[in-house]
């Protein structure tokens, strides 16, 4: 009955598959797609229009487009057309003055603003104030600079109108560059590879993961073994105390650390009273900021590993400990030769699980130092989050952030595969015990 068996298996798996698809595969796929675009807050996530801006022209000039053509694109042309006259009337320019313009200048075209203004000054109903005259003159000006064109064809027409004798390639280049929507690109990865910030971020991330992980494993081991040898009541009190970081909601936990380390906080006040350097430890210096980042995350990890190690310790039969004492082992030798070797798998598990979760977790850092002072305690995941979703200037770069996230996923998946081999996952998943 293989079919029936597969169906039952699928039935059991379906909730997990749904969760996997919705919460892992889809976001990963979307991130993967966005990583190959230049999406940002200015391109938007839907389509765009064509706009030639001053910045664009500067960029094109830097890229080697003929400067003369670009200058002409930037020029304003004054043309007395019926539309422009209507615009002037609607704007409240003296009707008599408008009538003068219509009568004497209709159909005329000026490429120089001064020349047009001179003509206007010669009209009988010209305004007294020069300012009013300039306002009126501006109403006849038109430029393709900062004009929105709905599609590439309209933009091309406008550019060709200004530059009738420009080569085809130049026009194409200008039109393509004027697109404001997102485009496919591998530029994000190129930028990450070439940016000097990348190396610093990687060093920061490796340091953060390694230091926090060591704290987690060593403190967890110390606590688990310590409480294992304590009388049960005392051990219970210690265990509960050390569980608090894990039990406390993360935001509250971060706020408590701030109370602890900021100006006027507990440590600050204590240090001041003792004559030790007192400052905002969280943001005041790089070593204290790193210490706090590692402690904040390490305490949470330590309570997690303490639980795991404690339960593994309780699984060691008491007779083995007795036997080792009878065999002459001191407490330290007992821990070294009997207890620790049997904690090998839980330690490996904590190391692998915590590496992955530390690599991708940034919330504690975000809520405490937020990568500061400067960007000294920023890590890859936090930087990715800030780039894509939480930029102070509001310039959210979805594409670049997604590219960073994709690299994190690649590293994470590679590490998981290594760890699964280390754990001999195929051994863990044995043959089913129930036969259908």
Residues that bind another protein (CB under 8 A): 317, 319-320, 322-330, 333, 337-338, 341-342, 344
Residue 76's nearest CA partner among 156, 138, 150 is: 138
Choice between 1 and 318, CB closer to another protein: 318
Please list the alpha-helical segments (H only) found in 262-285: 266-274
Cβ neighbours for 57, distance < 8 A, ≥ 6 positions apart: 70, 73, 74, 145
Choice between 93 and 308, CB closer to another protein: 308
Q: Per DSSP, which regions of 40-90 are E strands?
A: 50-51, 77-79
Residue 197 has which token pair? 């910030």
- In Å, how far from its chain's centre is CA 54? 29
Q: How far is the CB of 307 from another protein (least distance, A)?
A: 22
Choice between 263 and 325, CB closer to another protein: 325
How many angstroms separate the Cα of 295 from the Cα of each of 208, 209, 325, 328, 377? 11, 12, 36, 38, 13
Looking up tokens 């290594």, which residue turns up?
Answer: 418
Question: Taking a C-beta distance cutoff of 8 angstroms, is the pair 395, 24 a contact?
Answer: no
Choice between 195 and 330, CB closer to another protein: 330
Q: How far is the CB of 22 from another protein (least distance, A)?
A: 42
Q: How far is the CB of 333 from another protein (least distance, A)?
A: 6
Choice between 330 and 414, CB closer to another protein: 330
Exposure of 205 by Cβ count < 10 A (0-12 exposed, 13-18 middle, 19+ buried)? buried
Choice between 11 and 328, CB closer to another protein: 328
Looking up tokens 């943001």, which residue turns up?
Answer: 283
Q: How far is the CB of 321 from another protein (least distance, A)?
A: 8
CA distance 260 to 272: 13
Q: How far is the CB of 303 from another protein (least distance, A)?
A: 27
Backbone φ, ψ for residue 158 (5° rounding): -65, -45
User: What residues are paired with 142 via a beta bridge?
Assistant: 77
Q: How far is the CB of 228 from another protein (least distance, A)?
A: 17
Choice between 227 and 324, CB closer to another protein: 324
Q: At what angle do helices 196-229 and 344-360 cross, to 10 degrees?
A: 140
- CB count in 10 Å sphere of residue 404: 26
Exposure of 221 by Cβ count < 10 A (0-12 exposed, 13-18 middle, 19+ buried)? buried
Residue 11 has which token pair? 């039935």
Q: How far is the CB of 317 from another protein (least distance, A)?
A: 6
Element (H, E) at 19: helix 2-19
Q: How far is the CB of 229 from another protein (least distance, A)?
A: 14
Choice between 337 and 425, CB closer to another protein: 337
Cβ neighbours for 239, distance < 8 A, ≥ 6 positions apart: 223, 227, 306, 310
Q: How far is the CB of 315 from another protein (least distance, A)?
A: 11
Choice between 184 and 322, CB closer to another protein: 322
- Whether the bond between 145 and the residue before it is cis, its omega within 30 degrees of 0, is no
Q: How far is the CB of 319 from another protein (least distance, A)?
A: 4
Choice between 229 and 259, CB closer to another protein: 229
Eight-class DSSP state of 20: I
Q: How far is the CB of 182 from another protein (least distance, A)?
A: 57
Choice between 288 and 324, CB closer to another protein: 324
Backbone φ, ψ for residue 50 (5° rounding): -115, 125
Question: Taking a C-beta distance cutoff of 8 angstroms, is the pair 315, 233 a contact?
Answer: no
């Amino acid at each position: 009955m293989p079919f029936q068996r597969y169906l039952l298996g699928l039935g059991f798996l379906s909730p997990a598959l749904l969760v996997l698809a919705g919460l892992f595969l889809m976001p990963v796929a979307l991130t993967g797609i966005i990583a190959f675009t230049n999406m940002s807050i200015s391109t938007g996530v839907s389509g765009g229009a064509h706009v030639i801006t001053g910045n664009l022209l500067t960029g094109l000039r830097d890229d080697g487009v003929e400067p003369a053509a670009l200058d002409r694109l930037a020029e304003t042309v004054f043309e007395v057309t019926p539309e422009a006259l209507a615009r002037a009337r609607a704007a409240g320019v003296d009707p008599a003055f408008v009538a003068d313009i219509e009568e004497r200048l209709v159909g005329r075209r000026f490429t120089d603003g001064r020349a047009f203004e001179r003509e206007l000054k010669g009209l009988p109903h010209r305004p007294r104030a020069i300012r009013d005259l300039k306002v009126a003159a501006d109403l006849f000006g038109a430029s393709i600079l900062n004009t929105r064109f709905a599609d590439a064809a309209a933009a091309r027409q406008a550019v060709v109108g200004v530059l009738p004798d420009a080569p085809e390639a130049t026009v194409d280049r200008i039109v393509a560059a004027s697109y404001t929507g997102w485009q496919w690109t591998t530029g994000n990865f190129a930028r990450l590879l070439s940016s000097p910030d990348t190396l610093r971020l990687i060093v920061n991330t490796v340091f953060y993961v390694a230091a926090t992980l060591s704290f987690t494993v060593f403190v967890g081991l110390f606590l688990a073994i310590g409480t294992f040898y304590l009388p049960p009541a005392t051990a219970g009190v210690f265990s509960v105390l050390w569980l608090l970081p894990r039990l406390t909601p993360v935001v509250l936990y971060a706020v408590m650390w701030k109370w602890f380390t900021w100006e006027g906080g507990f440590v600050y006040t204590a240090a001041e009273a003792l004559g030790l350097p007192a400052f905002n430890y969280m943001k005041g210096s790089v070593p204290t900021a790193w210490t706090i980042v590692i402690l904040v995350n390490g305490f949470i990890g330590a309570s997690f590993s303490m639980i795991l190690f404690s339960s593994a310790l309780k699984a060691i039969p008491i007779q083995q400990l007795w036997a080792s004492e009878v065999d002459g082992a001191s407490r330290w030798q007992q821990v070294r030769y009997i207890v620790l070797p049997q904690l090998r798998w839980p330690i490996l598990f904590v190391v692998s699980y915590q590496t992955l979760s530390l690599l991708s977790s940034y919330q504690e850092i975000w809520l405490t130092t937020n990568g500061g002072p400067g960007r000294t305690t920023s890590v890859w995941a936090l930087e990715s989050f800030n780039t894509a979703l939480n930029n102070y200037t509001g310039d959210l770069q979805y594409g670049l952030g997604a590219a960073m996230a994709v690299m994190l996923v690649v590293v994470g998946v590679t590490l998981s595969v290594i760890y699964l081999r280390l754990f001999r996952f195929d051994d863990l998943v044995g043959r089913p015990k129930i036969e259908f």
